[in-house]
């Protein structure tokens, strides 16, 4: 008997991608996943960048995505601190 195929809709795919991005950044920075999630959420980067730009970001390599998110996080945190 063949295994049951689980269908994943577009929203679920995007959320899985966002979760993967958070894990990759946490691994690269050797930080706790929750700490990175909190930082990204505080500046609005999850919804305002990772999810919003999914169609472009998911075409990049893991290393490029990770580096891009780290750089963007630093810029957005600096901008938030300047307000």
The pTM of the full predicted model, rounded to 2 decimals, is 0.88
What pLDDT band is residue 81 in, cutting at 50, 70 and 90?
confident
CB distance 40 to 22 below 8 Å: yes
pLDDT at 83: 67
Task: Give per-residue pLDDT as tens, 1-59.
Answer: 778 888 999 999 999 999 999 999 999 999 999 999 999 999 999 999 999 999 999 99
Instruction: Give the residue ranges of DSSP H helices in 1-83.
Output: 10-29, 33-43, 45, 54-57, 62-82
Q: Give Dmax over CA atoms of the chain in angstroms.
A: 60
Neighbours of 73 (CB within 10 A): 19
**Residue (of 54, 23, 49) closest to 36 by Cα position:** 23
């Amino acid at each position: 008997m063949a295994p049951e195929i689980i269908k994943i809709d577009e929203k679920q795919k995007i959320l899985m991608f966002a979760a993967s991005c958070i894990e990759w950044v946490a691994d690269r920075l050797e930080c706790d996943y929750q700490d990175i999630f909190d930082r990204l959420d505080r500046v609005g980067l999850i919804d305002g960048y990772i999810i919003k730009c999914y169609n472009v970001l998911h075409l990049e390599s893991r290393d490029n995505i990770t580096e891009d998110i780290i750089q963007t996080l630093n810029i957005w945190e600096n901008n938030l601190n300047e307000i």
